[in-house]
């Protein structure tokens, strides 16, 4: 993960660079002690993470970030003054750390930042896969599911249904196996083809190819005999989906 450091106190700059050097997934690609230099280098380097002091000798970084595009970067503000916290958060800062920098605090903030960045990259890759398959009228055929131990590539047609529970999603497959991933169901709802999958409940997304029966009391039966609930709010959606089968 590429890092740019904006800090005008040389001792603190050296301390930050030493701390960053100890974190294996971070790489410093540039640094500056003044707004003028950073204004040129940050747009050119496009760092994934910016560690920024707020008050510098030739201005403040809030003004800098209002002038340049930092939408592709995550920002951790580092300052000796806590009165800037609200302004930093309103700007969309990922974290706000006070000087003197504590190693544990910086490690925790950069770790969260790295995990968020990796998740965004994974999501983008999934979307690119889906977009590639959709070109020319074709449909996505496979999806990558990242569990705690591994990433498994499965055929979409092998998914019976997905179940959400407290921020996790379990994929139930036609071979009887299941895969637990630490992502919410809504993200997969956007990736899976809507002409095949229907959100029948807040916690369930079902592959319509395996639906065998709809019960008026609010259940879908699938080919393995399991029953999946249909919420009152989703009843009309499910009935419309069934009519199109």
Q: Which positions ≥6 away from 187 have C-beta within 8 Å? A: 123
Sign of CA dihedral 136, 142, 144, 145: positive
pLDDT digits (tens, 9 = 90+) for 77-134: 887 766 555 554 545 556 677 788 888 988 988 988 888 777 666 666 665 555 455 4
Q: By the 8 A CB rule, do 41 and 30 touch?
A: yes
Is a pLDDT exceeding 50 seen at residue 3?
yes
Q: Which domains does the chain have, with CATH numbers?
A: 2-121 (3.40.50.2300), 139-244 (2.40.50.1020)
How far is it, in rounded angstroms, from Cα 138 to Cα 40? 43
Nearest to 70 by CA among 12, 14, 6: 6
Both tokens of residue 220? 């879908």
Q: By the 8 A CB rule, do 232 and 218 touch?
A: yes
Sheet holding 168-173, edge to edge: 178-181, 168-173, 159-165, 204-207, 197-201
Q: Which positions ≥6 away from 245 have C-beta within 8 Å? A: 208, 211
Is a pLDDT exceeding 50 seen at residue 76?
yes
Measured at the alpha carbon of residue 71, what is the angle toward residues 101 and 79, in degrees to the nearest 5? 20
Backbone phi, then psi, for 154, in 5-degree steps?
-130, 155
pLDDT digits (tens, 9 = 90+) for 182-239: 888 988 888 888 889 999 999 999 999 999 999 999 999 999 999 999 999 999 999 9
pLDDT digits (tens, 9 = 90+) for 146-184: 777 788 889 999 999 999 988 889 999 999 999 998 888
pLDDT digits (tens, 9 = 90+) for 10-64: 999 999 999 999 998 899 999 999 999 999 999 999 999 999 998 888 988 888 9
């Amino acid at each position: 993960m590429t890092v740019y450091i904006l800090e005008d106190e040389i001792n603190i700059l050296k301390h930050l660079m030493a701390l960053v050097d100890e974190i294996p997934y971070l790489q410093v690609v540039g640094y500056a002690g003044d707004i003028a230099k950073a204004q040129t280098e940050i747009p050119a380097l496009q760092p994934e993470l910016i560690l920024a002091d707020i008050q510098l000798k030739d201005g403040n970084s809030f003004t800098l970030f209002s002038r340049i595009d930092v939408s592709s970067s995550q920002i951790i503000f580092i300052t000796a003054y806590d009165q800037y916290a609200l302004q930093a958060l309103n700007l969309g800062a990922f974290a706000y750390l006070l000087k003197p920098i504590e190693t544990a605090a910086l490690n925790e903030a950069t770790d969260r930042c790295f995990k968020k960045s990796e998740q965004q990259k994974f999501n983008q890759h999934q979307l690119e896969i889906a977009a590639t398959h959709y070109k020319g009228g074709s449909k996505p055929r496979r999806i990558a599911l990242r569990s705690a131990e591994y990433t498994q590539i499965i055929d979409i047609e092998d998914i019976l249904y997905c179940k959400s529970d407290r921020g996790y999603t379990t994929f139930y497959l036609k071979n009887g196996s299941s895969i637990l991933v630490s992502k919410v169901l809504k993200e997969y709802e956007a990736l899976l083809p809507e002409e095949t999958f229907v959100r029948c409940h807040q916690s369930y997304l079902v592959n319509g190819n395996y639906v065998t029966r709809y019960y008026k009391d609010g259940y879908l039966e699938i080919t393995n005999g399991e029953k999946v609930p249909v919420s009152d709010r989703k009843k009309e959606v499910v009935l419309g989906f069934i009519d199109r089968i």
